């Protein structure tokens, strides 16, 4: 399968799926608190997606994944499986939500800080968020994917964070993971050139330590090899004739499209 260009009808369905995925993150926020288990958060998301949204949680049974969302805490990079461990003060946790509605996928994740975390953790979370937005704001026809990866990497590394290489963003639509691969590192003027109608995710994973990762014996959870903290944010975007539409945008984020975050070291 090559990169698909979505029709106007498909784009409308992607908008709906994207909005639903964003809504799950809004819904779950008040429950991401000290003492809650990630299993309880998974159940809330599952019930909301299936009963309220009348949609499908895409991770459930995807290649054998056992839960409806991914929850990745502290040195967990991605694909954490919700379980009976309680969130504790200072944890940083990524909640990754993918819903299928009317045959189309919306995929988005954000970091939550439980109570009060270390300044180091807060800084990693903030730099990763800015790195994602640097990538998103570059999206428009004729830009190369390598341009985007390069700028994300440059920003991350200039802030003394490393970029995970083994996992990347992806085309999305009827399938959860479509072509192209969207690397969060790379070289300018390399890779695919964007055209209007493409839909894909940008979802950088940044580590406070070295970039190397390994997978746990559960077959899913990815952690940093050096046990340093890791953060990730994700949006699903559409390439428009003039630029980008963020299909999973939350209300608090409207200003970020127009007003770039400070792209200097913080």
Q: Which positions touch Co ion (CB under 5 A)?
A: 96, 107, 201, 234
At its nearest, how many Å lie between ligand MF3 and the CB of residue 247? 14
Q: Using CA atoms, how far apart are residues 212 and 199, in angstroms rounded to an integer? A: 28
Q: Please report, for residues 95, 118, 263, the alpha-carbon distance to residue 81 in angstroms, rounded to integers and kept in the order given.
A: 10, 24, 33
Q: Which lies closer to ligand MF3 via its Cβ, residue 176 or residue 243?
A: 176
At its nearest, how many Å lie between ligand MF3 and the CB of residue 61? 9
Query: Counting contacts by CB under 6 A, is residue 234 touching ligand MF3?
Result: yes
At its nearest, how many Å lie between ligand MF3 and the CB of residue 62? 4
Q: Using CA atoms, how far apart are residues 76 and 214, in angstroms rounded to an integer? A: 10
Among 10, 23, 107, 151, binds ligand MF3 (CB under 6 A): 107
Q: Which of 245, 242, 159 is nearest to 204 (CA)?
A: 159
Return the one option of ligand MF3, Co ion, none that residue 62 interacts with (CB less than 5 to 8 A, by type): ligand MF3
Select the residue whose beta carbon is closest to ligand MF3 and give its number. Answer: 59
Token pair belonging to 171:
């085309």
Query: Counting contacts by CB under 6 A, is residue 219 touching ligand MF3?
Result: no
Inter-residue contact 129 to 235 (CB < 8 Å)? no
How many other CB atoms are found less than 10 A from the CB of residue 48? 20
Return the one option of ligand MF3, Co ion, none that residue 59 interacts with (CB less than 5 to 8 A, by type): ligand MF3
At its nearest, how many Å lie between ligand MF3 and the CB of residue 260? 24
Query: Counting contacts by CB under 6 A, is residue 147 touching ligand MF3?
Result: no
Q: Please report, for residues 110, 123, 244, 249, 259, the alpha-carbon distance to residue 255 in angstroms, rounded to integers and kept in the order given.
A: 17, 21, 14, 11, 6
Query: Counting contacts by CB under 6 A, is residue 98 touching ligand MF3?
Result: yes
């Amino acid at each position: 399968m090559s990169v698909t260009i979505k029709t106007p009808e498909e784009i409308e369905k992607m908008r709906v799926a994207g909005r639903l995925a964003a809504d799950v993150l809004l819904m779950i926020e008040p429950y991401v608190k000290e003492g809650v288990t990630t299993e309880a958060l998974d159940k809330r998301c599952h019930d909301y997606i299936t009963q309220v949204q009348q949609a499908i949680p895409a991770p459930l049974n995807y290649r054998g994944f056992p839960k409806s969302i991914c929850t990745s805490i502290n040195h967990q990079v991605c694909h954490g499986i919700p379980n009976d461990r309680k969130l504790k003060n200072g944890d940083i946790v990524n909640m990754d939500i993918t819903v299928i509605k009317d045959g189309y996928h919306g995929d988005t994740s954000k970091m939550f800080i439980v109570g009060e975390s270390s300044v180091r953790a807060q800084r990693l979370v903030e730099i990763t968020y800015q790195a994602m937005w640097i990538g998103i704001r570059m999206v428009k026809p004729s830009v190369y994917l390598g341009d985007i990866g390069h700028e994300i990497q440059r920003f991350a590394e200039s802030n003394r964070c490393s970029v995970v290489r083994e996992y990347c963003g992806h085309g999305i639509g009827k399938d959860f993971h479509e072509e192209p691969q969207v690397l969060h590192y790379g070289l300018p003027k390399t890779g695919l050139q964007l055209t209007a109608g493409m839909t894909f995710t940008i979802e950088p994973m940044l580590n406070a330590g070295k970039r190397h990762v390994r997978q746990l014996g559960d077959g899913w959870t990815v952690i940093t090899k050096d046990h340093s903290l890791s953060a990730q944010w994700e949006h699903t975007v559409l390439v428009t004739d003039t630029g980008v539409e963020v299909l999973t945008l939350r209300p608090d984020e409207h200003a970020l499209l127009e007003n770039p975050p400070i792209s200097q070291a913080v």
